Amino acid sequence: MLFQPERLSFGIVLPAQTRTSADMQFDTQLAIAAQANRLGFDALWVRDVPLNSDSYPDPVGHADPWVFLGALAAVTSGIALATGGIVLPLRHPLHIAKAALSIASLSKGRFVLGLGSGDRPTEYAMFGEDVENRKMLFQSHWHRLAAALRQDQQVIDENGRVRSEFAIRPRLKTSVPMVAVGSSSQSLEWIARNATAWMTYYRPLSVQKDRLALWHNAQAKVTADFRGFGQSMVLELLARPEAAYEEINLGGRTGRRGLIEALSAMRDAGIHHVAFNLIAQGRPASEIMEEIAADVLPALR
């Protein structure tokens, strides 16, 4: 499982390439994915960017997540495949269910469905939706999607009725894990009640500990079941092992010794998963992953 008590697991955010307006380099990214699988990373995270625009900070031309995930499933084994996250209000929940079940089956149960709401008013407008309705849309789409992904796989219509004359294939023996990515305009109690885990943005650990306390309080109110907590992390890993840890936007710049110390503190604070968003400043992503796998992961497992 990707989220486990008292264990810190590690993922790679794809595409791992220079943040320019160039389209995603498929062959390069599939090679990186196969390498991450070989090196023992726990997950590959794929983003959903329906439309590029100046309002979205990442200029990379992202591929359709479902097409990309199909290719990733074909070149990997063992490593989890996760979305971070599908923009739920702008996609029909039954279409998501069909795609999610297909990827889960193709990957032999390695798929983790991360879901977010998106927040760009102009993108919502292009899909004929009002961004002010995202909280309601997220909740209603989530419940229909969750019903379709359970083991009994119920198809529910727009009026909340179970339509037993319809089925979504393929059938699975286990449910697809659903993870909330960002707050999606929901309360933490709602997320703890409905999601298996919460993935959020990187914050300095002193600040993230406050978020963890809020998360634990929310869980205590609604469930006795374990709920995971993860974060993305922009990482600029320097070639100098002794370089001290330095905060940068949404992550850190450091040598491997500082990275080990920072990740150890995250694990001790109760973070269960870190998804590295690699910055390659003169160092290819493949080289950075090799160093993490050889020197950082063994120190934390």
DSSP string, 179-211: EEES-TT--HHHHHHH-SEEEE----HHHHHHH
> Residue 299: its pLDDT value, please?
95
The residue ranking higher by pLDDT, 20 or 198, is: 198
> Residue 129: its pLDDT value, please?
93
Quick check: helix, strand or coil at residue 15? Answer: coil
Segment 38-64, tens digit of pLDDT? 999 999 999 998 888 776 677 777 889
d(CA 137, CA 116): 11
> Residue 246: its pLDDT value, please?
97
pLDDT above 70: residue 281: no
> Residue 1: its pLDDT value, please?
79
d(CA 142, CA 93): 7
Q: What percent of the chain has pLDDT over 70?
A: 98
**Lowest mean per-residue pLDDT among 123-127, 182-186, 279-283:** 279-283
d(CA 298, CA 264): 12
The residue ranking higher by pLDDT, 22 or 110, is: 110
Nearest Cα to 65, choosing from 116, 21, 19, 18? 116
Segment 185-222, tens digit of pLDDT? 999 999 999 999 999 999 999 999 999 999 999 999 99
> Residue 50: its pLDDT value, please?
84
Nearest Cα to 84, choosing from 33, 118, 45, 123? 45
> Residue 301: its pLDDT value, please?
83
pLDDT above 90: residue 119: no
User: Mean pLDDT across the stretch 162-175?
Assistant: 90
3-state helix, strand, coil in the chain (%, to 5): 40, 20, 40
Segment 64-118, tens digit of pLDDT? 999 999 999 999 999 999 999 999 999 999 999 999 999 999 999 999 999 999 8
Cα distances (angstroms) measured from residue 167 to each of 65, 103, 118, 175, 186: 24, 17, 29, 15, 29
How much is the mean pLDDT over the chain? 94
User: Mean pLDDT across the stretch 291-300?
Assistant: 96
Respond yes or no on whether the N-terminal peptide bond of residue 85 is cis (omega within 30° of 0).
yes
Claim: this prediction has a pTM higher than 0.75: yes
pLDDT above 70: residue 266: yes
> Residue 285: its pLDDT value, please?
93
* Local structure of residue 23 (DSSP, 8 states): B
The amino acid present at 190, given as its one-letter code, is: W
Q: Which residues contact 301 (CB under 8 A, 6 or more apart)?
A: none
